[in-house]
Every structure is written in structure tokens, then in C-alpha cells.
Chain A
């Protein structure tokens, strides 16, 4: 069963923080700095969940979502948007949930747990 979480954010601090936090909870985490890089990662290995920032250079969150929805292999991939502007994210089709920055750790764990089973590593 795929347990990987893909964190997509152009802010390296946020990438690191999310990665360390989720790894400390026992998840396997990979990262990407923008939408295009995220698609590359998904091409290599499937993921159970994507945590997606919206404002990114090269390819933003909205474009990434369109690509995911139009790709039959990725169509069902759950995506949680992590943004300072939840209103923007709510309008995006295919989004399964929204986490508001700054992210509350309990909220993060609760949302992630909806899509990814507990790691055996714990």
C-alpha cells in the first residue's frame, strides 16, 4: 500500500517543516518546489496524498490540479491545499480539503489521516 505523501511548496522552510513533522508521525514524505517538479515525482512513484501550495513559480497549484484531473492515472489522487488564502483554494475543482497557513499541527494530522493509513513504522 502506498503511504507516500508528496509535499509541494516553493518555500523550502515550509517543505522542511512539513516533511520533518509528518516523518516524526511516521509518514513517508517526498517534496517538490513547484507543480512541474511534483508531476515529475508522481511520474516516478505514486503518492497516497498531495499537500499542495497554490502560489509557486513555474507551475502553480491551480495548473497542477488541472493536470492531475486530466490525467487518468492521477484522477483519483487526493489533494489537500495548504494556503494562506483558503477562499482561493475552495474554488478549485478536485480539492479534497484545505489547510490554512499557519498550519495547526492537530488539524494537519487529522486531515492527513483521512487519506493515509497509519504507518507500520510507528
Chain B
């Protein structure tokens, strides 16, 4: 590649002698030099005004302006000051003296007679120097231009950025007047830009925030704070309130004047949302703190880390214990609710929430609480749940269903009773009515006196039936007496073995008709303080049962005891009582036998139990079905009242 042709270098030759100029020309003539010849200093100055020159060859000895004077004038000129000068002189000493006035490198000299090679070499050096400077000049100019273009582009970009920024930007004076604002700022303030520029900050800020805003802006402009950021309410042209986050900082203009740089963001929507959120949180907080409903947070590790007062009250733990991590959700749930709780957990994992369900909690003190629980998965793992104590409701529900069950049972028992009672009451009526009507018929038809013995025999069943009716009525009255509150007792000193014998004696006819034999076995006299009539009633019921279910086999009455208790037991060898009926038969209107078998109200054993319990005694049954039954009544000998009686049961 060939170098491009070197730039033409203009060389100014100054000499008053034409032959000297010719000599210089002939020595220096080359294609890349342009030789300009002038014959005086004055002409040289004129040439320099018109043309750019790389180097000047200047003859010292000239008429008019000599070489030194000419050089001095050249140096005064701005554009020519830097042009190197080669003085041409005949006297060496002259030049050396003058040189001290010039900067080194900007000047040289040649002594006559001229050595052509030296001349060419010196000129070539200065031309090369000029060319380098030219090159440098061109490069730096190009750089300068590029730089300027770039700066203009950047400035344009800045302008666009300023104008189009999605944030309000403005420059304000110390007094709070806007110098320049972008369109977003005007938009935020809700006013045309011309209005904004006309008004100060003070005019557009809401009165309630005015003082604070001005004070904070003042502090920034005064330099006591590098930057201020605050949230203020502004008023738009139509009077609407706008929440604005204002950032104010101090910058300086090129001339050093302080300028407030304001950045404005419309945060009305955020404020509205935050306010709504806060209100909503407050509403829920009120609910949470009102204590109506238990609220808790359970960490991913299963510990309950937060709980409100209502929840703590349900589970019986303190806030300190919860903070210490002592409360583990899984240990709260009672084993009976474990399956339901596992289902709820599964639901939580799959759907992020579980339906409201009933669970039983174990309180800290071990008691149980019935709760209604619901939960949702919380951000960051764990769950947030609520719990409502429904223990009382559940208890009431259980109580209701228990009462309903009791009611239904008592209705059933009464229906059974009516069925039996109608049978039992009608049975004795049959002989009574038959005999009375029969005797009446006989009496009406009689033509001779009626045989007294025959009449007595005829009246016997009627009498027995009447007695039986009386007993039934008595036992019904007993039931109503024994049902209402406490059993009234009239205790007196009496002996159990004597009472047993009296009862057997009184029931002699029943015993005979049942075809049983009854034996009273009493080793010693068993005395105590009891209600004689009531205890005899007890023995009577037991004996009556033994005769009824004893299948005609022998019945034994045993009386025994020690210094504390007396016991009378009535044993038969009849059908016996099935184990599943053993407890039930002491209930009112209960009978072990199928309803179509055996007469009686089913009240006997219930009356027995009531009377015995009123004496603080107990009645027990031991029986093998098919082998008979033995009812044992144990009574404290000191009677129904007295401080030691409570221990009798043991």
C-alpha cells in the first residue's frame, strides 16, 4: 500500500536579494513544497495574513523591516505565533543574542554561505513537525466534533427522558417555584403545565400538609439535609385530593445556583389500598381480639406459635407457654378425634383449606373441650385456623338427646304398664263380678233359706279378689309416693327375723295356693332401727316374687348379720333371672318375664329398691337361669339416719 501523497507544505522565503531567493528555490524545490517568495518583511506579514505557512525562511539583513523586527511582528499575531522561523544570516553572533527571546524549537538559523544539505535538512525537520501538528489538529478536531455530536445526542436523550419519565420530575427554586416540570408532574398535580409553572408548591399542597412540606423543602435547599422524602396530600385543580410521594434533593446549575430537584409519584391508589387493608385488618383484629372466636397460627413444625386470648381460654394454656413453643397442635387433639383431624389435614394439604369440622381438644388440665375448627394454609407454610368452643352446646345436645331417650323410655314403660295394669286390674274384677252377680241370681231365685256354709264358700273368691284389688291400688299409690322425692320413713326399734315370720304368717294363704313351702332360717335376733311397715313390705314383695316365679318349689328366707348390718335374703328355685335382665328388673314397670307371662305391675322390685336405698341399704340379686334366684337385702342396723351410715355400703 502506498502512503497517500504528503500534504503540500507552504514555505515562505523572505529575502530582499533576488539571487538569494533563487538560490533557496533551487535548493528546496520538491513536489510537496510550495515555495512562496517575498522580498520584504512587510510583504511577509501580508502573505501570512492570506495563507497558512509551515515554515518561514527569513533573511536578517533587509532594508525597512529587518528580519528580527519582522519576526517580532509575526509573534504578535495569534495565528502566526506558532510558525517556526529559520533566520538566514551572515553573522553568527547576532543570531545567538536574539535567540534568547524565543521559545526553543520554534526558531533556528542558517549561516551564509548556505550549505544546501543543512538547509534542506532543517526545512524538512520543520515541515515534518508542521505536518505532525496538522495531523494532530485534524484528529483533535474530529474528536471535538464527535464529542459534540454525542453530547447533543445525550442531551436530547436526557430531555426526552425528563419529559417522558413515568415519574413526575421538576426543578424548583429556593422559593418553591417551578422552573421546569415534565408532563407527568403536571398530570400528577392534576393541572395544566402552564398553571403548574405559574403556581408554587405552597399553592398546590393541601393545607393540612403545607407547613410540614415547606419546612422540609427549606431544610433541603438550605443544605441541612441532603435529601427529603415524604408523603403529602396535594390538591388538583378540580379540588380532588392526591397522595404524592415527594423526593426533594439539592442540585446545582452550571453557574452554581442551587436548584431543587423534585420527584413526584402518585401514591393515591397505594394509599387507598393500604387504608382499605388497614381497615379490613382492623375489622378482623376486632373480631380476633373480641374473644368470641379462637384464632391461632400453627408453624410448619406443628407448634402453635400464635394464639389469641379466646384460643388460650379454650385450650387452657398461657400466652407465655405458647411463645415458648410448648403447645403442639397434634397433642391437642383427643384420640377420639384423631381420624377426623387426619382427614382435615389431608384436605388442607390438597386444597389449602379444610372445611369447618368438630373436634375434641384435650385441655392442659386434661379435661375435654368440644370445638368447631376450620383452617387455611398460611403463607410461608403452616396454617391459620379458628376454633369455636361448642362444649356447652354439645353438652346441651347430649343432655337433650339423653332426656329424649329417657322420655321415650318412660313412654314405652308407661305403655307397657298400662297394658299390664289393665290386665292386672281386670283379673280380680272377674271373680268379683262373677260371684256377686251369681249370688244375686241365686238369691233372686231362692225358695228356701240359703246354706250359710255354701254362701261363705261362694264369697271367698270375691273377698280375695277385693283384697287383691286393694293391694294393687295400694301399690300404685306407693309408686306415686315413692316417685316423688324422698321416701318418708318412720324408723323404730324392730327385729328383722320377727318381721320375716310375720310376713310369712300374713301371706299363708298365698303360700298355700302357690303350693310352696316357705322356711324362715334365723340364727340370732337381728335388731335395728328401721321403718317396720316398709321393711315388711320389702319382704312381702320379695316373697310374692319367689312364690310367683318359684315353680312351686320350696322358698327359703334367711336372716343373718353382724353388729353393723342385718341381711334378709329370699331364695327360690324357680325360673331364675337371665344376666342381661339382672339390672333392669329393679327399674319401675320392668319385668324379666315376657309381657304375656306372669301377672303383676312389675313394680315390686322397684319399690323394694327405693325403700332399701332410703334406709341406706342395698338389694342384690344372685341367680342362675333355671335354678332360681336369691334376693338379698342388706340394711345398716343403726337405721336410715346417722353419721356412720355412709360407710355401710363398703
Contact A84 B462, beta carbon cutoff 8 Å: no
* Contact call B461/A55, Cβ cutoff below 8 A: no
Q: Contacts A13-B461, A13-B465, A105-B441 known; A55 to B597 CB distance under 8 Å?
A: yes
Cα distance A101–B428 in the bound complex, in angstroms:
9
| Cβ-defined contact, B435 with A11, below 8 A | no
Query: How many Å lie between the Cα of A121 and that of B510 in the bound state?
Result: 33
Whether, in the assembled complex, B513 has its beta carbon less than 8 Å from a beta carbon of chain A, the answer is yes
Nearest-CB distance from B417 to chain A (Å)? 14
Interface flags for A45-75 (1: CB within 8 Å of B; 0: not) read 0000000001111101000000000000000
Chain A contacts with B in 91-110, Cβ cutoff 8 A: 101-105, 108
Tell whether, in the assembled complex, residue B597 and residue A56 are in contact, meaning their CB atoms are under 8 Å apart.
Answer: yes
Minimum Cβ distance to chain B for residue A52 (Å): 13
Closest to A53 in B: B427
Residues on B with beta carbons closer than 8 Å to the beta carbon of A84: 422-423, 426-427
With contact pairs A55-B423, A103-B430 given, residues A13 and B438 touching in the complex (Cβ less than 8 Å):
no
Q: Are A104 and B433 in contact (CB under 8 A)?
A: yes
The answer to whether A21 touches B435, judged by C-beta atoms less than 8 angstroms apart, is yes
Docked complex Cα distance between A16 and B457 (Å) = 10
Cβ of B434 < 8 Å from any Cβ of A?
Answer: yes
Nearest A residue to B509 via CB reads: A12
CB–CB B426/A102 < 8 A: yes
Quote the shortest CB–CB distance from B82 to chain A (angstroms).
149
Residue of A nearest to B433 (CB): A102
Q: Is the pair A14, B431 in contact by a Cβ cutoff of 8 Å?
A: yes
Taking a contact as CB atoms under 8 Å apart, the answer to whether B426 and A20 are in contact is no
Q: Is B598 an interface residue (CB 8 A)?
A: yes
List the B side residues contacting A5 at CB < 8 Å: none
Complex alpha-carbon distance, A18 and B549, angstroms = 24
Report the bound CA distance from A54 to B106 in whole Å: 160
Give every chain A residue within 8 A of B432 (Cβ-Cβ): 17, 102
Q: Are B435 and A20 interface neighbours, CB within 8 A?
A: yes
Q: Does B437 contact A (CB under 8 A)?
A: yes
Known: A55-B599, A104-B433, A108-B434. Contact between A14 and B441, CB under 8 A?
no
A105: chain B residues at CB < 8 Å are: 433-434, 437-438, 441
Excluding A13-B430, A20-B461, A57-B551, 4 further A-B contacts by CB distance (< 8 Å) are A13-B464, A57-B593, A82-B430, A84-B427
Contacts of A14 in B (CB 8 A): 427, 430-431
Q: Give complex CA distance A54, B598 in Å.
A: 11
Q: CB-defined interface of B421-458 with A at 8 Å, one 1/0 digit per residue?
A: 01100111111111101100110000000000000011
CB distance from B281 to the nearest CB of A (A): 74
Contacts of B465 in A (CB 8 A): 13, 17
Contacts of B460 in A (CB 8 A): 16
A13–B596 contact, CB under 8 A?
no
Say yes or no: is B10 at the interface (Cβ < 8 Å to chain A). Answer: no
27 pairs, A vs B, C-beta closer than 8 Å: A12-B513, A13-B427, A13-B430, A13-B464, A13-B468, A16-B431, A17-B461, A18-B430, A21-B434, A21-B438, A24-B438, A24-B458, A56-B597, A57-B551, A57-B575, A57-B593, A57-B597, A60-B596, A60-B597, A84-B422, A101-B423, A103-B430, A103-B433, A103-B434, A105-B433, A105-B437, A108-B434
Query: Which chain B positions have C-beta within 8 A of A57?
Result: 549, 551, 575, 593, 597-598
Chain B's closest residue to A82 (CB) is B430
Q: How far is the CA of A11 from the CA of B468 in the complex (A)?
A: 11
Q: Which 3 A-B pairs have the closest CB atoms?
A: A17-B431, A102-B429, A16-B461
Residues on the A chain within 8 Å of B464, using CB: 13, 16
Contacting residues, chain A, for B513 (C-beta < 8 A):
12
User: Which residues 454-478 of B have a CB within 8 angstroms of A?
Assistant: 457-458, 460-462, 464-465, 468
A102 to B437, CA, bound (A): 12
- Residue on A nearest B575 in the bound complex, by CB: A57
A65 to B441 alpha-carbon distance, docked (Å)? 33
Q: Which A residues lie within 8 Å of B551 (CB)?
A: 57-58
Q: State in angstroms the CA–CA spacing of A102 and B599 once bound together.
A: 15
Q: How far is the CB of B121 from chain A (nearest CB, A)?
A: 159
| A18 closest partner in B (C-beta) | B434
Residues of chain B contacted by A88 (CB below 8 angstroms): 596
Q: Which residue of B lies closest to A24 (CB)?
A: B438
**In this complex, which of A17, A18, A21 has the most chain B Cβ atoms within 10 angstroms of its Cβ?**
A17
CB-CB under 8 A from B599, the residues of chain A are: 10-11, 55
The smallest C-beta distance from B508 to any residue of chain A, in angstroms, reads 14
Query: What is the 8 Å Cβ interface bit string for chain A, positions 1-19, against chain B (1 contact, 0 not)?
Result: 0000000001111101110
Give the chain A neighbours of B549 by CB distance below 8 A: 57
Taken together as a complex, chains A and B put the C-alpha atoms of A76 and B408 apart, in Å, by 46
Point out the residues of chain B lying under 8 angstroms from A12, CB to CB: 513
A101 lies within 8 A of B427 (CB):
yes
